[in-house]
Chain A
Amino acid sequence: MKIRILLVDDEKEYVETLAERLRNRGFHVTEAFSGSEAVEKLKGYNFDVTVLDVKMPGMSGIETLDEIKKLKPLTEVLMLTGHGTIETAIEGMKKGAYDYLLKPCKMDLLLEKINGAYERKSEHEERIRKAMVDKLSTSPMSVFEK
Chain B
Amino acid sequence: MEHNHTEADKTKKPGLLSNKLLWLIIGAACFIIIGFIIPTPQSLVELVEKQKIAEKLIGWHIAHDAGQAAWKAKLVLGMIPMAVIYFATEALPIGLVGILMPVFAYFFQLLPTKMIGQTFAGDAPLFLLGVLAMGVTVIGVGLHKRLATWILGWTRGFVVPIVVLCVAMSVLGSFISAHAMAAFMAPVMAAVYMGAVSGNNNQGVIEHDPQLAKLLLFALCFALNVGGVGSPAAGGRNVIMMGFWSDYNVPMSFGRWMMYGFPLTPVLGLAVAIYMLFIFRKVKTKDLTPGLLAIKEETKKMGKMSYAEKVAFGMMLLILFLWIVGGHGLGLGGPALLALVIPVVFRIGDWRKILGGISWDAWFMYCGALTLGALLQETGAALWLAQIFLGSLAAVGFGKGLGLWIGMSSFSGLVTNFMSDAGTTALLGPIAVPMGIMSGVHGEPWSIGLATAFATSFAHFLIVGTPNNAIVYGLGVYPDTGQRMISPIDFVKYGFVLWLISLAIVWVLGFMVLYNVVGFPEGITETAKAVLMSSPH
Q: Which residues of A line the B interface, CB within 8 A? A: 1-2, 4, 23, 26-29, 44-46, 72-75, 125, 128-130, 132-133, 136-146
**B1 A125 Cβ-Cβ under 8 A:** yes
Check B481 for interface membership: any CB of A closer than 8 A. Answer: yes
**A74 B195 Cβ-Cβ under 8 A:** no
Which of B198, B469, B480 is the one whose CB lies under 8 Å from A45? B480
> How far is it, in angstroms, between the C-alpha of A73 and the C-alpha of B482 when the chains are bound?
13
What would 28 A/B residue contacts be, using CB atoms closer than 8 Å? A4-B480, A26-B202, A28-B203, A29-B203, A44-B481, A46-B482, A73-B2, A74-B2, A125-B1, A128-B1, A133-B183, A133-B474, A136-B467, A136-B470, A136-B474, A137-B183, A138-B94, A138-B361, A138-B467, A139-B94, A140-B420, A140-B466, A140-B467, A141-B17, A141-B18, A141-B89, A141-B464, A142-B470
**A143 B194 Cβ-Cβ under 8 A:** no
**A129 B183 Cβ-Cβ under 8 A:** yes
Check B343 for interface membership: any CB of A closer than 8 A. Answer: no
Check B294 for interface membership: any CB of A closer than 8 A. Answer: yes
**How many A-B pairs fall under 8 Å by CB?**
92
Check B463 for interface membership: any CB of A closer than 8 A. Answer: yes
Which of A1, A128, A133, A136 is the one whose CB lies under 8 Å from B294? A1
**B471 A137 Cβ-Cβ under 8 A:** yes
B424 CB to nearest A CB, Å: 13
Q: Give residues 478-519 of B contacting A (CB, 8 Å).
A: 479-482
> How far is it, in angstroms, between the C-alpha of A27 and the C-alpha of B198 when the chains are bound?
12
Q: Which residues of B contact A26 (CB under 8 A)?
A: 202
**A138 B362 Cβ-Cβ under 8 A:** yes
Q: Which residues of B contact A75 (CB under 8 A)?
A: 2
Q: Which residues of A contact B479 (CB under 8 A)?
A: 1, 46
**Known contacts A4-B480, A45-B481, A140-B464: does B470 contact A129 (CB below 8 Å)?**
no
Q: Kindly list 16 other residue pairs between chains A and B, CB separation below 8 angstroms, not including A132-B471, A140-B469, A143-B463.
A: A1-B191, A2-B202, A4-B480, A26-B202, A29-B202, A46-B482, A72-B2, A74-B2, A75-B2, A137-B183, A137-B471, A138-B93, A139-B94, A140-B463, A141-B464, A143-B470
**Known contacts A1-B195, A133-B179: does B93 contact A139 (CB below 8 Å)?**
yes
Which of A27, A29, A138, A143 is the one whose CB lies under 8 Å from B473? A143
